[in-house]
């Protein structure tokens, strides 16, 4: 047995001393050594140590090579590391003899290599080499039984794929044990490598997380790192700094166990040790600052970095936390990456550290609070130059306001900090109000959305009381082009309306949110319906179903005035319900209310309690009026109540009581006000009450019509007879006529037992009404024709003639109502017989035309257009309704409608004719298409109502594709962008910015150049001339903005900018090229007459467009802030960057090939003609030289002379501009001095003063000239420096300048110009532009 052991030891020693670098050698040596170290024979181990001590260097060299071996994906190396660590841990081992920094580094390297990700083929080859090694070992037959046992155990422990998790755990466990007695203070490099290797293990082990216990691995890594945090291994603070630095990648990574391990180790282990060590405490306090500088710029990784920093700061002591807070506030003043981190950190610090206003004292106020410092820093970043930082700051400020609003003390401090203090809070005026006004209309969408989010949070803080301008801004944001902004605006405004029922908030909400039901986005429509149901219908339901207070006793000093009654009624219904109802029937709100109620009714989301509440409100109002002993004939229901009831009753007919409707119909029908009952002093009140009663009757009739199918048969029949009698009297208001006719038709359906009988009944009473109406109209026309009273003596009051005039007036009113009733009946029953009516209406509408019959028989053909303009207008409207029902008749009369639309001088009639023509366009599209240009002329109508009506109706036709965007239609719509009416301008902005951008994205691009010529009314271009140029000019002159004055140019430029904003980058690029080719090149080739005033305007507009920033958006190089914003928005920044690079290359190519040569040729032409447009060209060229400096340099690289000439010409132009500005300043100073009072001078003093004035004027002229030259030289040098890539401007002697002949007539020519030539060149600009002489 002893002999075998000796042989075993001898084989190991021999292998160590004489072993080569072949891998089979290490495969035998490592298992033999591990087998030896596992024995319990201390004597054998001592003999081995004695024998090995003499060969220590060979041992270290051999095992270092084994631990560096890459065989079997590092398995041999990790096995050698295990054997090496086992040797160091074995009893009586001379540790310092066998420990070496080189071997230790090899050991750490073996762990890294073994944990590195491996490919499948690597694991396969490793398995193959392992099997070959085993075969070779078995073939030798030199292995002992112990060796075989070790090999089998290793084979059993190995996992599939060659990775052995247990082997890794054994190595790490032995490594931690070795560090207990091997101190690395003498080996700082080894300590640093150890820290780095162990910190990398959590990342390297990610691939093997399925075959090893990851939690146990993290625990062992923490044990190793914790072991080196001891004074035995050197300075603890330096070691902690190295550990923190090595763990930084783990701290900054996404959510994973490795990150949790790193955070836990830093916040618990290192923080625990730092409590008793001041130096270590400094390291811990500096770690968050270090992470700030290492934080990535992208949004998601930056968020992980912020979370890690916050976790570490939370584990710090209070004074250290405050120090870091001060550091964060200073970050807010640093570079952009620091500012964005500060903005992200501030809300988390304020919410996590707790009680940000905790240090506030009554003595010092709020200045000592760190929370207020953070709040101020955040508010400052809301105005940052970077759009991304602005947006983040606003969002985070909203977050801060949200979590600080829950505590009353914090709310009061927050209001004070934001400037909402004292009485100003109720008005919503504060420090942040002006900020919100700007940010809600910011050019960046993310900023606008964040500002609206902040408004939503501030609403709950302030109780919904905002400045009116903020509310207006939120209302405007509801029309934003972006869907997300519109949603945010609806949410913000609805939150304000939910909290505050003030009249201003209610009005703005109703004028902004309900109209979004017509939005193209379905989700916005649904949101609009939901908030309307919640904030309007539910609020009305609560108010109407509240306990009745109508029978409250009268106070002793009560005064029965209508104002007191109104106040009592408003007090009766809380939550501003009466204001809400009154605004619902506003003409700008009611169409959207109808649409929403219809949509909710179809979805069966209208609840019966809404109708019951409205009836209760009307009843309570009437009851309160009667309790105050007021006359019932002066009572009116709360405004809007009947209107809303008429809309919801369509879908809730069973919820409306017949007794309620019958009672109020009798009340409204019998108590019509009579003229003059209250005397002259109350005429205005009577008229107002009368219109209110008429409106209520209309809505009541609609409600009766809606619920008629639920009425009992007998009351329905009586009501129908009543309606028919009232219609046949022809004394109703036009709105009441429609309501009576519709209600009567609906009641006929109820009255008839069979559906066919209802048609017979309707036909019967329609024919009856038409017959009577025809007789009334015909009788009036005959009376006017036979009694021409134009030249009669004026009637006196009370005379027989006065009574006759009153009778005629009543007949006229009756005839107008009869004609209107004819149209209403035709609408509800299109098949009615109109054979007798059409000739009668034809007589009226043609009475104003010239005819031979009229000249021969003036008495028989009196002009009804002049005598009865209302009847004349009403006849056109009724004829239009008949034409809608009869296509053949429409074909005959549509030309007459178009003619009257063009020549009528009555705005109301033109408005009605526009409505009629657009209706014809829907029913008879082919017939009306040729008259579209005549309809579009109303876009320039002198009446604003007609212009707005035309714009709205044509826009609807265009959206529904009844009219196409072709011909002059688009070009005529452009002028609505600069209309005198703000409402029309807003409608036009919405049409071009929202609808056309989606429906016709190429329209602005295709028509842009043509729009320039049309807006300038330019016919000086050969390509735009035609045989009908004079006629075309007369037609289009009304749709042009002629003139070269500042006002006309600014209007045209506003239109151009709007069109450019609708274009995609590639279309902007093409527009740039088209302008150069079709305008600039045409001018240089002579196709565009630049001596014509309109041609000059076109050319000047082209220069301004090419120099404006909107057309240069396509070639912007893509700043980092824009890229960051795209990333924040979730866009694909890489694709956008690639697209930007492609556009840039295309622009460079286009500039090189087309633009600059055209500019040079055009410049020479304008200079030859001494054109005033040279200045505009030079301004545009200066912008191009600065924006495309690299491209210009490439183009002019072969022609430096041309480049110098361009810069020289620019210098002259800049000098002239600067001199002109300076002259204006000097002139102002001189005129100011001349206005000073002076004493009358003597003759000698006057002569001296004249001489002094001459000297002063010469001196001022020289100063002006010198200043202008200096400014021009600086401007030109800056341009040239940019063009030359930073090279200095060449001296004048090196430039090619014109040679001037000497005044002496001779002189030698040399390579360098003479001093006289240089002096003449220097002084030449001064004399060229000296206008004072």
At residue 1134, the pLDDT reads: 52
> Which neighbouring-strand residues pair with 787?
none
| SS3 at position 560 | coil
Divide the 1333 residues of the chain into consecutive groups of 10 and give the mean pLDDT of each group: 67 67 66 74 73 73 79 74 83 79 87 73 44 39 37 39 77 86 86 89 77 82 87 86 88 82 86 81 87 87 89 86 89 89 90 72 54 87 90 90 80 80 48 83 88 86 75 86 88 88 88 89 92 92 66 45 63 79 89 93 92 90 82 82 92 88 80 43 48 80 83 79 87 84 81 72 89 89 64 46 66 89 91 89 78 41 74 92 92 92 91 94 90 90 93 90 82 90 89 81 88 87 49 59 87 92 84 88 86 89 89 49 40 54 62 74 86 85 71 64 69 72 56 43 43 45 53 52 44 41 39 44 38 36
| SS3 at position 179 | coil
Compute the distance between CA of residue 1226 and CA of residue 1228 in angstroms, rounded to an integer. 5
3-state secondary structure 240-299: HHHHHHHHHHHHHCCCCHHHHHHHHHHHHHHHHHHCCCHHHHHHHHHHHHHHHHHCCCCH
At residue 429, the pLDDT reads: 53
Compute the distance between CA of residue 249 and CA of residue 254 in angstroms, rounded to an integer. 10
CB 828 within 8 A of CB 741: yes
Compute the distance between CA of residue 162 and CA of residue 158 in angstroms, rounded to an integer. 6
* Token pair recorded at residue 713: 């048969």
At residue 151, the pLDDT reads: 37
Could you count the other beta carbons within 10 Å of the beta carbon of residue 927? Answer: 15
Query: How buried is residue 713: exposed, middle or buried, by Cβ count under 10 Å (0-12/13-18/19+)?
Result: exposed
Could you count the other beta carbons within 10 Å of the beta carbon of residue 1287? Answer: 10
CB 391 within 8 A of CB 447: yes
Largest CA distance in the chain: 159
CB 446 within 8 A of CB 409: no
At residue 1029, the pLDDT reads: 42
Q: Which H or E run includes 1011?
A: helix 1008-1015
The alpha-helical segments, DSSP class H, found in 576-712 are 577-584, 590-602, 608-627, 641-648, 658-670, 683-706
Query: How buried is residue 314: exposed, middle or buried, by Cβ count under 10 Å (0-12/13-18/19+)?
Result: middle
Nearest CA-CA partner of 393 in 376, 406, 405:
376
Nearest CA-CA partner of 694 in 640, 732, 648, 720:
732
> Count of residues for the chain?
1333
At residue 557, the pLDDT reads: 45
Compute the distance between CA of residue 1037 and CA of residue 1022 in angstroms, rounded to an integer. 19
**Matching residue, tokens 């501003």:** 576
Compute the distance between CA of residue 548 and CA of residue 155 in angstroms, rounded to an integer. 91
Which DSSP category does 1021 fall into?
Answer: B
CB 922 within 8 A of CB 962: yes
* Token pair recorded at residue 1211: 């210098």
Could you count the other beta carbons within 10 Å of the beta carbon of residue 835? Answer: 6
CB 1079 within 8 A of CB 1102: yes
At residue 50, the pLDDT reads: 74
**Matching residue, tokens 């084994």:** 66
Could you count the other beta carbons within 10 Å of the beta carbon of residue 1088? Answer: 26
At residue 1282, the pLDDT reads: 45
Q: What is the dihedral of CA 245, 247, 249, 255, to 10 degrees?
A: -150
CA angle, residues 611, 612, 618, in degrees to nearest 5: 90
Phi-psi category of 865—alpha, beta or left, where left has phi over 0 and alpha has psi -120 to 50? Answer: alpha
- Calculate the alpha carbon distances from 108 to 80, 94, 99, 171, 891 in Å: 12, 21, 14, 10, 97
> Which neighbouring-strand residues pair with 1088?
1021
Query: How buried is residue 841: exposed, middle or buried, by Cβ count under 10 Å (0-12/13-18/19+)?
Result: buried
CB 1177 within 8 A of CB 1212: no
């Amino acid at each position: 047995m002893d002999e075998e052991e000796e042989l075993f030891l001898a084989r190991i020693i021999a292998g160590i001393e004489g072993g080569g670098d072949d891998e089979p050698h290490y495969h035998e040596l490592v298992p033999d050594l591990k087998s030896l170290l596992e024995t319990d024979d201390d004597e054998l181990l001592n003999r081995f140590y004695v024998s090995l001590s003499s060969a220590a260097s060979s041992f270290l060299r051999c095992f270092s090579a084994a631990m560096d071996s890459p065989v079997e994906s590092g398995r041999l190396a990790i096995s050698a590391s295990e054997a090496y660590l086992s040797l160091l841990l074995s009893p009586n081992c001379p540790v310092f003899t066998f420990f070496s920094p080189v071997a230790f580094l090899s050991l750490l390297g073996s762990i890294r290599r073994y944990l590195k990700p491996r490919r499948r083929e690597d694991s396969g080859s490793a398995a193959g080499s392992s099997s070959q090694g085993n075969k070779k070992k078995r073939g030798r037959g030199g292995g002992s039984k112990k060796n075989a046992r070790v090999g089998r155990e290793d084979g059993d422990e190995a996992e599939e794929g060659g990775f052995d998790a247990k082997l890794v755990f054994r190595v790490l466990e032995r490594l931690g044990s070795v560090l207990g007695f091997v101190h690395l203070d003498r080996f700082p490099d080894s300590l640093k490598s150890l820290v780095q290797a162990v910190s990398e293990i959590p990342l390297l082990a990610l691939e093997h997380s399925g075959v090893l216990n990851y939690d146990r691995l993290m625990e062992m890594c923490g044990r190793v790192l914790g072991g080196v945090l001891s004074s035995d291994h050197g300075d603890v603070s330096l070691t902690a700094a190295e550990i923190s630095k090595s763990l930084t990648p783990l701290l900054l990574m996404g959510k994973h166990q490795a990150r949790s391990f790193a955070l836990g180790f830093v916040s618990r282990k290192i923080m625990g040790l730092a409590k008793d060590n001041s130096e270590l405490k400094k390291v811990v306090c500096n770690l968050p600052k270090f992470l700030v500088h290492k934080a990535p710029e992208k949004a998601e990784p930056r968020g992980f970095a912020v979370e890690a920093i916050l976790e570490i700061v939370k584990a710090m002591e209070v004074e250290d936390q405050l120090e870091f807070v001060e550091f964060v506030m200073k970050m807010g003043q640093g570079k952009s990456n620091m500012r964005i981190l500060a903005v992200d950190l501030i809300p988390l610090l304020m919410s996590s550290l707790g009680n940000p206003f905790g240090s506030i004292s009554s003595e010092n106020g709020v200045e000592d609070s760190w929370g207020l410092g953070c709040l101020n820093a955040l508010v400052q970043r809301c105005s940052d130059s970077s759009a991304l930082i602005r947006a983040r700051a606003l969002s985070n400020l909203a977050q801060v306001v949200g979590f600080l609003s829950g505590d009353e003390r914090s709310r009061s401090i927050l209001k004070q900090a934001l400037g909402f203090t004292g009485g100003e809070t109720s008005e919503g005026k504060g420090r942040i109000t002006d900020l919100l006004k700007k940010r809600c209309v910011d050019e960046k969408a993310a900023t606008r959305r964040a500002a609206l989010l902040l408004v939503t949070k501030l609403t709950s803080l302030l109780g919904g009381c905002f400045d009116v301008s903020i509310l207006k801004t939120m209302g405007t944001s509801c029309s934003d082009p972006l869907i997300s902004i519109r949603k945010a605006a609806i949410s913000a405004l609805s939150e304000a309306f939910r909290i505050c029922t003030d009249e201003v908030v209610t009005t703005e909400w109703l004028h902004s949110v309900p109209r979004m039901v017509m939005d193209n986005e379905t989700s916005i429509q649904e949101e609009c319906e939901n908030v309307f149901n919640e904030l309007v219908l539910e609020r009305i339901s609560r108010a109407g179903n509240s306990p009745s207070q109508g029978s409250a006793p009268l106070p002793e000093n009560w005064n029965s005035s209508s104002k007191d009654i109104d106040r009592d009624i408003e007090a009766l219904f809380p939550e501003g319900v009466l204001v809400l109802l009154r605004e619902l029937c506003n003409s700008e709100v009611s169409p959207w209310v109808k649409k929403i109620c219809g949509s909710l009714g179809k979805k069966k989301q209208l609840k019966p309690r809404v109708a019951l509440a409205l009836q209760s409100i009307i009843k309570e109002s009437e009851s309160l009026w009667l309790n105050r002993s007021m006359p019932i004939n002066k009572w009116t229901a709360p405004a809007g109540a009947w209107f809303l009831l008429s809309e919801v009753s369509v879908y809730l007919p069973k919820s409306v009581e017949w007794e309620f409707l019958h009672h109020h119909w009798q009340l409204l029908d019998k108590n019509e006000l009579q003229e003059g009952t209250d005397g002259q002093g109350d005429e205005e009140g009577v008229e107002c009450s009368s219109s209110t009663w008429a409106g209520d009757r209309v809505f009541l009739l609609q409600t009766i019509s809606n619920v008629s199918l639920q009425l009992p048969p007998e009351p329905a029949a009586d009501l129908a007879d009543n309606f028919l009698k009232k219609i046949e009297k022809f004394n109703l208001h036009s709105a009441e006529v429609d309501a009576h006719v519709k209600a009567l038709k609906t009641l006929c359906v109820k009255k008839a037992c069979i559906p066919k009988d209802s048609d017979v009944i309707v036909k019967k009473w329609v024919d009856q009404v038409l017959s009577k109406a025809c007789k009334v109209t015909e009788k009036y026309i005959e009376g006017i024709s036979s009694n021409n009273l134009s030249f009669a003596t004026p009637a006196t009051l009370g005379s027989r003639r006065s009574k006759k005039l009153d009778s005629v007036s009543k007949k006229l009113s009756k005839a107008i109502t009869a004609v209107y009733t004819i149209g209403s009946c035709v609408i509800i029953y299109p098949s009615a017989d109109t054979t007798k009516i059409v000739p009668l209406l034809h007589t009226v509408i043609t009475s104003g035309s010239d005819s031979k019959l009229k000249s021969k028989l003036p008495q028989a053909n009196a002009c009804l257009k002049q005598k009865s303009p209302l009847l004349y207008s009403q006849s056109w409207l009724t004829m239009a309704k008949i034409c809608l029902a009869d296509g053949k008749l429409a074909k005959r009369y549509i030309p007459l409608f178009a003619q009257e639309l063009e020549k009528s001088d009555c705005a109301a009639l033109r408005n009605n004719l526009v409505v009629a023509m657009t209706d014809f366009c829907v029913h008879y599209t082919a017939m009306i298409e040729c008259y579209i240009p005549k309809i579009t002329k109303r876009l320039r109508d002198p009446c604003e109502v007609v212009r707005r009506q035309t714009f709205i109706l044509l826009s609807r036709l265009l959206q529904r594709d009844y009219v196409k965007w072709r011909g002059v239609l688009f070009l005529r719509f452009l002028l609505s962008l600069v209309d005198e009416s703000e409402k029309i301008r807003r409608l036009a902005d919405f049409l071009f910015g929202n609808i056309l951008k989606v429906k016709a994205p190429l329209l602005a691009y295709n028509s842009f150049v043509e729009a320039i010529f049309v807006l300038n009314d330019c016919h000086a271009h050969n390509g735009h001339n035609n045989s009908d140029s004079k006629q075309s000019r007369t037609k289009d002159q009304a749709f042009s903005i002629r003139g070269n004055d500042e006002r006309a140019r600014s209007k045209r430029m506003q239109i151009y900018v709007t069109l450019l904003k609708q274009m995609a980058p590639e279309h902007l690029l093409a527009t740039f090229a088209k302008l150069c080719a079709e305008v600039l090149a045409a001018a240089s080739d002579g196709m565009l007459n630049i001596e014509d005033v309109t041609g000059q305007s076109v050319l000047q507009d082209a220069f301004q467009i090419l120099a404006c920033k909107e057309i240069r958006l396509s070639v912007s190089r893509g700043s980092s802030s824009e890229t960051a914003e795209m990333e924040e928005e979730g866009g694909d920044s890489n694709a956008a960057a690639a697209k930007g690079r492609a556009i840039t290359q295309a622009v460079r190519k286009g500039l090189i090939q087309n633009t600059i040569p055209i500019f040079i040729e055009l410049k020479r032409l304008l200079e030859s003609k001494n054109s005033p447009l040279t200045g505009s060209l030079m301004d545009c060229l200066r912008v191009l030289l600065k924006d495309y400096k690299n491209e210009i340099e490439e183009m002019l690289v072969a022609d430096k002379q041309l480049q110098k000439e361009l810069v020289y010409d620019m210098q002259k132009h800049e000098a002239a501009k600067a001199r002109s500005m300076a002259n204006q300043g000097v002139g102002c100073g001189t005129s100011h001095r001349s206005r000073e009072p002076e004493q009358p001078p003597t003759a000698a003093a006057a002569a001296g003063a004249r001489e002094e004035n001459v000297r002063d004027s010469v001196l001022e002229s020289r100063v002006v000239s010198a200043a202008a030259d200096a400014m021009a030289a600086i401007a030109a040098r800056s341009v040239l420096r940019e063009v030359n890539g930073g090279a200095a401007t060449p001296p004048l002697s090196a430039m090619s300048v014109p040679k001037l002949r000497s005044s002496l007539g001779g002189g030698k020519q040399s390579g360098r110009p003479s001093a006289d030539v240089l002096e003449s060149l220097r002084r030449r600009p001064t004399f060229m532009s000296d206008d004072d002489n």
